[in-house]
Every structure is written in C-alpha cells, then in structure tokens.
C-alpha cells in the first residue's frame, strides 16, 4: 500500500491526499511537521534529497517526491490523467504553470502569513508576492471564463494541482473576490465525488 509522508495543512501534500481519496486508492498517511526541521535530517534526506514533503513510498523502500510528479504517478491509467497525447500534455502544461507561476506566489503568501511569526522579516516580501499571485489568478480566470475545467472540460489532476492553493489564497491575503469564474470552478471542484477538504490551519 502507498505511504504518504506529508503535512496535512500543506497544499502540496493535500494535492496527493485529494487525488488518492478521489481515486479510491488506499494509502497510509505519515504526518511530518516541516517546522521541526525533520525533513532536513539525514534520515529524511536519504529518502528525499530535496528535503521536502510530500513524499510517496510507492513500493517498500522506494520513494517519489514532487507533488505533481506524484499526481501523475497515482493517476496514470485513470480518467484523472487522459491518455490522448495532446490532452496529456495540456494537463502537464497547467501543472508546470502551477509550479512556476502560481505556487511560488499563492502558496508563499499563505506560508508567510500563516506559518511564520508576525515579526518575521519575510513579511516584507508580501506586496510583491501578492502582486504575482494575482497575475497567476488572472491567467486562471481568463481560462476558466471559457472552460469548466483546465483541460478538455473534464476534471483532472491539473484541477487538483491548481485547486490546492487557489482555494486557500485568502489565507495569504490574496482576495478571490475579483475572480468569479475561478470561484465558480472552486465550487465545481468541491462538488466532485469523494472530495475531501484540506485540514484547516490551527
């Protein structure tokens, strides 16, 4: 059975949880608190040299890192990652967008606001990070104004990857009020069979 090393309040980890729940794939969850520095200890680095969660133990002693790579692995052969060549690449297109243009801003704004102390020097980054977060949301809004889901009008791992931090954007002070198509898409994602919400921040 799969074992996921993850922190439940991390959007990157929640992507894996949501996909496995919706696919009905059994798994074990090992909660890892990144704030303790455990992911940078030698024992963890032996499993993931990049020292981050999520991490999937797909076969005993064999690990796969990077949330979106894990989504591709667990969704392979299911309707969540279509077989057709172009659709498959379009799913990847949005997942790369998520990692390069979206997560570094939408997730980082939330991380600074929710995980770091109120007087942390990284708070100074917030205005720029939020500006870039809004640029990413504007890209999504344009696409979702014309499409029900990101690819082929079917729910896929591209939606899971982008939902994880988008729905929690306001926790980073990134308001969703100006994005009606994105807000409607969030509601469609939440209406999917076997949807589970992300564990709320304490």
Ligand X SMILES: N[C@@H](CCC(=O)N[C@@H](CS)C(=O)NCC(=O)O)C(=O)O
Q: Give least dist CB 180 to ligand X, A.
A: 28
How, if at all, do strands 2-6 and 55-59 pair? antiparallel
Nearer to ligand X, 10 or 156 (CB): 10
Nearer to ligand X, 7 or 189 (CB): 7
Nearer to ligand X, 10 or 182 (CB): 10
Q: Give least dist CB 182 to ligand X, A.
A: 21
- The closest of 160, 163, 148, 179 to 106, measured between CA atoms, is 163
CA dist list (Å): 147 to 18, 124, 177? 22, 36, 19
Q: Give least dist CB 51 to ligand X, A.
A: 5
Task: Report the C-alpha gap between 55 and 7 in whole angstroms.
Answer: 10
Q: Give least dist CB 60 to ligand X, A.
A: 22
Minimal CB distance residue for ligand X: 52
**Residues lying near ligand X in the complex (CB under 6 A):** 10, 12, 34, 39-40, 51-54, 66-68, 99
């Amino acid at each position: 059975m799969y074992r996921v090393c993850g922190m439940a309040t991390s959007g990157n980890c929640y992507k894996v949880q949501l996909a496995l729940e919706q696919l009905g794939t059994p798994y074990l969850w090992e909660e890892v608190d990144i704030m303790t520095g455990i992911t940078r200890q030698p024992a963890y680095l032996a499993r993931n040299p990049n020292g981050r969660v999520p991490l999937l133990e797909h076969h005993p002693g064999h690990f796969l890192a990077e949330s979106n790579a894990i989504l591709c692995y667990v969704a392979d052969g299911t309707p969540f990652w279509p077989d057709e060549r172009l659709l498959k690449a379009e799913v990847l297109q949005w997942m790369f967008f998520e990692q390069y243009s979206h997560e570094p801003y939408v997730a980082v704004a939330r991380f600074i606001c929710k995980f770091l102390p109120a007087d942390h020097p990284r708070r100074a980054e917030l205005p720029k990070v939020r500006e870039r977060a809004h640029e990413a949301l504007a890209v999504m809004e344009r696409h979702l104004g014309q499409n029900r889901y990101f690819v082929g009008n079917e729910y896929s791992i591209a939606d899971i990857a982008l939902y994880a931090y988008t729905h929690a954007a306001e926790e980073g002070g990134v308001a969703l009020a100006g994005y009606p198509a994105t807000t409607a898409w969030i509601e469609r994602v939440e209406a999917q069979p076997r949807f589970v919400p992300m564990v709320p921040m304490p």
